[in-house]
Structures are given as C-alpha cells and as structure tokens.
Amino acid sequence: MGSTKRVTIQPGLHVNLFFGPGGFFCRWDPDIPKPITKWQQRRYLAERDRFLKGLSIEIGDIIIIDWRGTHLFNRGRKETVSREFRV
C-alpha cells in the first residue's frame, strides 16, 4: 500500500510526496532551492500537512518528527505533540 502526490510550489518547482512501507518522504523537482524562501517553506508544509491529514483518514495515526517538533496526524486532524524533540 502506498500513496503519492505531486505538488506545485511555484511554476517550475514541484515536490513529490510519497508514503509507503518505508515511511514518508519527499523529492523536490528540481532539487530543493538553497536558500528556500519562507513562502516556499510555508507552501511545502501546508501541502505536506494536507497530504498527511488525508492519508491519516485512510490508514490511522501518522507521526512526523521534523525541525519544528513532533506532530501527530489522526483522522484528518493535526496535533503538535512536542516541540522539545526535534531533528
């Protein structure tokens, strides 16, 4: 079982979101811009959250740990569990 979604961040910049047996990951097309603007980051996070919320309705709880903290996606809702454990 797996799921994938291609998201346009801005013209010429896309992110492919994947979820499968190996977990959640994304691939930027072309590579992630350096530096990434705050607008691009907010757009990416909004699309990632939308993707994971929909997926959590189908498969149940999903936990994501990133630089902003630990987040739980449960039945279409997102909850920030902790800001202390970050990568």
Q: Is residue 87 part of a domain?
A: no
Q: Is residue 76 part of a domain?
A: no
List pLDDT tens digits, range 68-82. 788 888 888 888 877
List pLDDT tens digits, range 29-61. 988 888 889 999 899 889 988 888 888 888 888
Cα–Cα distance measured from residue 87 to residue 79, given in angstroms and rounded to the nearest whole number: 18
Domains of the chain: total? 1
List pLDDT tens digits, range 13-28. 999 999 888 788 888 8
Q: Which residue range(s) make up the domain with 10?
A: 3-60
Q: Is residue 78 part of a domain?
A: no
Q: Is residue 83 part of a domain?
A: no
Q: Is residue 68 part of a domain?
A: no
Length of the chain: 87
Cα–Cα distance measured from residue 64 to residue 38, given in angstroms and rounded to the nearest whole number: 20
Q: Is residue 13 part of a domain?
A: yes
Q: Is residue 32 part of a domain?
A: yes
Q: Is the peptide bond before 11 cis (omega within 30 degrees of 0)?
A: no
pTM of the model: 0.78
Model confidence band, residue 87 (pLDDT cutoffs 50, 70, 90)? very low
> Which residues are CB-neighbours of 7 under 8 A, at least 6 positions away?
14, 15, 16, 17, 44, 47, 51
